[in-house]
């Protein structure tokens, strides 16, 4: 199936820029939005970050405020990770992982971990795709991918709750009143 072959190619080849490939000059918001739209494989479901979303992530403390009106490598790294994480985590959950990350590692090291884990996840998923899948077998593939996503989501949310508790950040998971 040609569409699956193309998806497999994207999952195998397309990756966000590594830390040392991120622009080393500060960018204005419109440049950031344009840059981020090229960092991840688009799903077509409004997955790209907008300036309003970025401003909300800053207000929520996921990303530091711009330096003046310019965003640097650290901003781009966090926003790239948020682009992926927002598909599977709430803002509160992302806040836990970014807060703990800031406490444990430098931004460049955190981002390298993100890239390494993303690379492995994309490769694992690409391996599950068979270009020879027929229309008749497509529902099985969809169900397989969905159930893996469900199981990974369960494990992710539970591990995140444990992380929040063990690092004293369980308050970040509570809804604001």
Task: Give the chain's residues under pLDDT 70.
Answer: 44-47, 176-177
Q: Tokens 């190619």: give the residue.
A: 9
DSSP state of 70: B
Would the CA dihedral through 55, 56, 59, 63 be positive or negative? negative
Strand extents, DSSP E, the chain? none
Residues 6+ apart with CB under 8 A from 62: 78, 82, 91, 94, 95, 98
Give the pLDDT score at 42: 80
Number of alpha carbons in the 13 Å side-chain half-sphere of residue 17: 18
Taking the alpha carbons at both ends of the chain, their separation in whole angstroms is 50
Give the tokens for residue 74.
């650290």
Give the pLDDT score at 145: 96
Of 93, 75, 88, nearest to 28 by C-alpha is 75
pLDDT digits (tens, 9 = 90+) for 94-145: 999 999 999 998 999 999 999 999 999 999 999 999 999 999 999 999 999 9
Spacing of C-alpha 28 from chain mean position:
21
Give the pLDDT score at 128: 93
Give the tokens for residue 45.
């479901």
Q: Tokens 């997955």: give the residue.
A: 47
């Amino acid at each position: 199936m040609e569409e699956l072959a193309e998806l497999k190619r994207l999952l195998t080849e397309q990756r966000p820029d590594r830390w040392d490939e991120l622009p080393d000059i500060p960018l204005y918001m419109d440049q950031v939005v344009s840059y981020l739209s090229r960092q991840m494989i688009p799903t077509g479901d409004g997955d790209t970050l907008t300036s309003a979303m970025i401003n909300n992530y800053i207000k929520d403390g996921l990303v530091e405020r711009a330096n003046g009106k310019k965003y640097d490598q650290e901003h781009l790294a966090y926003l790239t990770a948020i682009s992926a994480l927002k598909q599977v985590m709430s803002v509160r959950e992302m806040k836990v992982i970014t807060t703990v990350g800031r406490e444990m590692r430098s931004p460049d090291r955190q981002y390298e971990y993100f890239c390494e884990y993303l690379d492995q996840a994309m490769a694992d998923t690409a391996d599950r795709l068979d270009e020879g899948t027929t229309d008749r077998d497509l529902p099985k593939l969809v169900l397989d991918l969905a159930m893996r996503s469900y199981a990974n989501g369960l494990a992710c949310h539970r591990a995140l709750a444990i992380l929040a508790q063990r690092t004293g950040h369980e308050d970040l998971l509570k809804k604001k009143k």
